[in-house]
Amino acid sequence: MLNEDQLSKLRRAGEVAAAARDLGISLCKPGAKLYDIAQEVEGYIRDHGCGLAFPCNISINEIAAHYTPSPTDQSRLEIGDVVKIDCGGFLDGFIGDTAATVEVGTNAYRDLVEASKRARNTVAEFVGEGTPIREIGRAIEMSIKRDGYKVVENLCGHQILQWDLHAGYSIPPYDAGDETPIKLGDTFAVEPFATNGRGFIDNGKPGNIVIFNREKPVDDPKTQDFLAYIKDEFHGLPFCARSCDFPNAEKYVKVLVRKGVLGSYAQLVEAPGSIVTQHEYTFYAIGKRAEVTTLP
């Protein structure tokens, strides 16, 4: 169990992340530049006293996750795009991870957007201490299937620990037979992805998101300085060059990826022409009914 100070930090990180998520959703208008949306979302998190648990993901249509704009990205939203905003903040390592989906200027996929939201909300009605992981997955799959869509089988919810976004157990969006119960004091994210595609994602192109991978010798003093900066700023959590307040960050990220010091996340992509939606809450198992920490 977290003590009162720790729980206060977890709640504050969740509150800030949720407000940033809603801000990002509100900015998804025709012609909006992805770079500007990401900067606004991350700026909100930092301006409200939290660090970035990971870069703001802005994943469109068949891209399910792990896309964030680079500093030179000129991409803009178009009418009909289905956009997932996934963001997170931390306070002293306690993380709020949250996501929502919006359709830009049309309602062609309204039911699909609602399917992932309804599945998340269904879980929120019963999850808590003692809930077996298989029951969470079963509820997600049943809800999304009832709405006429598929879950993305290989994208899971996850336990969260201090300074560790994807820790411990995973929560598949279907009944995988895992009887492991949610324990009192657990922090975990439930993030159903619904799709009209095949229900499975593959790795696509690099999505500009990186994470510290391993220690290796770095000779260049400036690159050493950058490495020290990212360790202090991001504490081993995922980040991107755009989020760095360091001159020529993109250059140093590329150098460290080539050296294997940083690992790169691929975009996660469904079948071409399909649509993926996502809704996510972070929960804290305060009792038989878990608390949603990512409410604004």
Q: What whole-number distance in Å separates Cα of residue 144 and Cα of residue 37?
A: 29
**Which residues in 66-186 belong to E strands, given as ranges?**
82-91, 94-103, 150-151, 157-161, 164-171
Answer yes or no: 280 catalytic.
Answer: yes
Dihedral (CA of 47, 76, 281, 26) sign: positive
Q: What whole-number distance in Å separates Cα of residue 91 and Cα of residue 45?
A: 10
Answer yes or no: 279 catalytic.
Answer: no
DSSP secondary structure, 216-280, as one string: -----HHHHHHHHHHHHHHTTS-B-GGG--STTHHHHHHHHHHHTSEEEEEEEE-STT--EEE-B
Q: Which structure tokens are listed for 75?
A: 């991409």
Answer yes or no: 129 catalytic.
Answer: no
Answer yes or no: 158 catalytic.
Answer: yes
Say which of 135, 158, 186, 279 is annotated catalytic. 158
Say which of 81, 86, 103, 135 is annotated catalytic. 86
Say which of 191, 270, 279, 291 is annotated catalytic. 191
Residues forming beta bridges with residue 87, ordered by sequence position: 98
Pairing of strands 193-195, 202-212: unpaired
Say which of 73, 114, 147, 166 is annotated catalytic. 166
Say which of 81, 97, 153, 186 is annotated catalytic. 97
Answer yes or no: 97 catalytic.
Answer: yes
Q: Which structure tokens are listed for 35?
A: 């770079």
Helix, strand, coil percentages, rounded to 5, for the chain: 30, 30, 40
Say which of 42, 81, 186, 280 is annotated catalytic. 280
Of the candidates 122, 115, 85, the residue with the CA atom closest to the CA atom of residue 100 = 85
Answer yes or no: 141 catalytic.
Answer: no
**Which residues are marked as active site?**
86, 97, 158, 166, 191, 280
